[in-house]
Chains A and B, each alone.
Chain A
Amino acid sequence: MANLKTGEKKTKAQSMGLHTEVLTGKTQQKFFNPDEAENFYYFGTYDVDFNKRTEIDVKDMECREANKKIDELMKEGYGTIVIKNPQGKHSLGVGILNKLNLIFEGSLGYFGVGSMDGPIVRINGRVGWSCAENMMAGKVVIEKNAGSCFGAAIRGGDLICKGSVGARTGIDQKGGTIIIGGDAGAFTGFMMQRGRIIILGDVGINLGDSMYDGTIFVGGKIGSFGSDAVEAELTDSDQDWLKRKLKVAEIGENFDVSKMTKVVAGKKLWNYDALEPTEKKGAI
């Protein structure tokens, strides 16, 4: 990782057994220098004003039509968009690479707000499978429950579900934080590579199965540990971080983080970082 800022965070992160990089969204781009952030932009992004607010009713719209409408509104400078009547439709709010306040008044289907980088999303309902898949940065808050594969392969940002989630939450997670207010299903943190998952309730079988790296914190009972997932000591730094994160997430007020179980990779399967340079060398 070139040109990534470290510093005080380095000590804390290391004490938590985490990587030292600030793994949020665009900072993971190896070619990106944070000092040059002003010059970095995505094609097709817009200057929006958060105080400029509008609503759209998507009841009779197909998802493509609704997503196009969101894009048009951002183009017009709207920084706060409220989506009415999503009614479980799939793939709403995907691919938004812009600053935006996006509010869904209802539930989403599959792949909601996937592949996004930057928006702050509030969903006043439930979400289906693979919510926020591949999210790079931003914040998503779900008021009710979520389906399976919640936060699959996210790279950064905060993904918060106030209810319970299905199986394979954080599968292939590469960064960011997933916070669950309720229970989580089987195979939570399956093959996760980096990032953190916090579950305040119980979790199902095979927690952290085949995880390479990253950390999982569980407040309730654990069904069983997956292959190469091991319990680690919960440090003071962990507790400070957990308290701060839960406060920011507006979840688990007064939750006793000192009783949480910390789960990390045993690193018997851990080899991708070691192999990566060799593979790259071969490719070059």
Chain B
Amino acid sequence: MCGIAGLIHRGNTSKVGFELQGMLQALKHRGEDSTGYALYGKTDGQNFIMRFKVGENVGEGSTSIMEDVSVYDERKKIVDGYLKDLGATIVKEERTLPYSLRYEIQYDKDLMEFSQKIESVPGVEILSMGKSLEVIKDLGNAEAVCKRYSLDKVEGTHAIGHARMATESGVDIKSAHPFWGYPFSDVSVVHNGQLTNYWNNRRVLENKGMRFMSECDSELIAVYLAEKMRNGATLEEGMKESLMGLDGVFTYFVATKDSLGMAKDTMAAKPLVLYESDDLVAMGSEEIAIRSILPQEIDTYDPFDGMVKVWQI
């Protein structure tokens, strides 16, 4: 089933980590195999923030194979070596969990080459690479993930998130949303639905040099949009093309460093409730997600079939 939520503060910042946690926790009945956050924080915009994993969470419910923690250290060492080779400087390093790391990096060369090199290490995946975006995803419900990574203090302008009920692929971090719009920094996607032409699209996109890290159909949206943007399309143009290019049922959100967008398939088969005001846009699979941050009586509506909307901060 899955639940998605997103919000954008227009013209100001707020504790988006805390707000998104409330929205996703209200949707936990739609799935709590894993929860993911894409937070667009208040940064100086100078350095890249790379969130990456060197292994999987093998806790209760995970479909991943148990690994010794020492493997994580080995992988981290290789990544550090590769960063040096690529000419990247680690400004700040945080190891939130044995398998999850956050690096602040100075780097000014090609992102695709960078990503390919780092992800050539088995078990290593870059969850996000952006100057304001940070993707945090792990097993468990929104509250558990928020607590594990101390996300409630994160301040920013906008955020999207996903509460996942695993159906098409495993219960693991690599299949959890949001997906990074590789190789574009600061682009992330969450999706509710099923895509039925996943493999056809994947084969075509892989032949064009795009990379897939999981077998989750939702990753296709991020890759599809990234490929469109690589060819010069704007985010909104790419999203409009996706209505015909992607087959199946879907409602998805996409965020960039300064915008938030939504798209709904032409059958309007997946739910979405939307609240818009001059200074805040909030949306989610169910109204209770919005109510968690706006308990007062407000006007909301269901976007119609085939609708694409993009808001700027």
Q: How many A-B residue pairs have CB under 8 A?
A: 74
Contacts A87-B295, A128-B273, A147-B271 given; does A110 touch B286 at CB 8 Å: yes
Answer whether residue A252 sits at the interface, using C-beta atoms and an 8 A cutoff: no
In the complex, what residue of chain A is closest to B26 when comparing beta carbons?
A: A88
B287 in the interface (beta carbon within 8 A): yes
**Residue from B266, B268, B286, B304 within 8 A of A109 (CB atoms):** B286
- A167 touching B295 in the complex, CB below 8 Å, given contacts A89-B288, A148-B268: no
Q: Is B291 an interface residue (CB 8 A)?
A: yes
A163 touches B301 (CB 8 A): yes
Does B108 lie at the interface of the complex (its beta carbon under 8 Å from any beta carbon of A)?
no
Q: Given A167-B305, A186-B305, does the pair A107, B266 have CB atoms closer than 8 Å?
A: no
**Are B299 and A128 closer than 8 Å at their CB atoms?**
no
Inter-chain contacts of A126 with B (CB < 8 A): 287, 299-301
A166 touches B300 (CB 8 A): no
Given the known A-B contacts A106-B297, A147-B273, are A167 and B286 also in contact in the complex, defined by CB atoms under 8 Å? no
Do residues A167 and B304 form an inter-chain contact, with CB atoms below 8 A? yes
Are A109 and B301 closer than 8 Å at their CB atoms? Answer: no
Given A88-B288, A88-B291, A128-B287, A167:B268 Cβ within 8 A:
yes
Count of interface residues, chain B, beta-carbon cutoff 8 Å: 20
Contact of A186 with B300 in the complex, beta carbons under 8 Å: no
Cα distance A89–B302 when bound, in Å? 16
Q: Does B267 contact A (CB under 8 A)?
A: yes
B290 CB within 8 Å of chain A: yes
Cβ–Cβ < 8 Å partners of A186 in chain B: 266-268, 304-306
Q: Which of B256-306 contact A (CB under 8 A)?
A: 266-269, 271, 273, 286-288, 290-291, 295, 297, 299-302, 304-306
One of A87, A109, A163, A167 near B267 (C-beta < 8 A)? A167
Given contacts A148-B271, A166-B268, A186-B266, contact A109 B305 (CB under 8 A): no
Q: Closest residue to B287 on the A side, CB-wise?
A: A88
CB neighbors of B among A147-199 (8 A) = 147-148, 163-168, 183, 185-187
Report if A266 contacts B (CB, 8 A): no
Per-residue CB proximity of A214-256 to B under 8 Å, as 1/0?
Answer: 0000000000000000000000000000000000000000000
Taking CB atoms, residues of chain A closer than 8 Å to B287 are 88, 107, 109, 126, 128
A204 within 8 A of B: yes
- Classify chain A: how many residues form its interface, as a range: 20 to 34
Whether B301 and A164, one on each chain, are in contact in the complex, defined by CB atoms closer than 8 angstroms, is yes
Judging by beta carbons under 8 Å apart, are B300 and A145 in contact?
yes
Q: Does A144 contact B (CB under 8 A)?
A: yes
Kindly state whether residue A205 has any CB partner on chain B within 8 Å. Answer: yes
- Taking the complex as formed, is A114 at the interface, i.e. its CB lies under 8 A from any CB of chain B? no
- Bound together, the chains give a CA A204 to CA B304 distance in angstroms of 8
Chain B CB within 8 A of A129 CB: yes
- Is A144 in contact with B299, judged by CB distance below 8 angstroms? yes
Q: A107-B297, A109-B286 are in contact. Are A185 and B302 (CB under 8 A)?
A: yes
Q: How far in angstroms is the closest Cβ of chain B from A68?
A: 20
Asked if A139 is at the interface (CB within 8 A of a chain B CB), the reply is no
A118 at the interface (CB under 8 A from B): no
Chain B residue nearest in CB terms to A184: B304
Interface residues of A in 86-104 (CB under 8 A from B): 87-90
Q: Does any Cβ of B come within 8 Å of A125's Cβ?
A: yes
The 9 listed contacts between A and B (C-beta, < 8 Å) are A88-B290, A88-B291, A128-B287, A145-B302, A146-B302, A163-B301, A164-B301, A185-B305, A204-B304
Residues of A participating in the B interface, judged by any CB pair closer than 8 Å: 87-90, 106-107, 109-110, 125-126, 128-129, 144-148, 163-168, 183, 185-187, 204-205
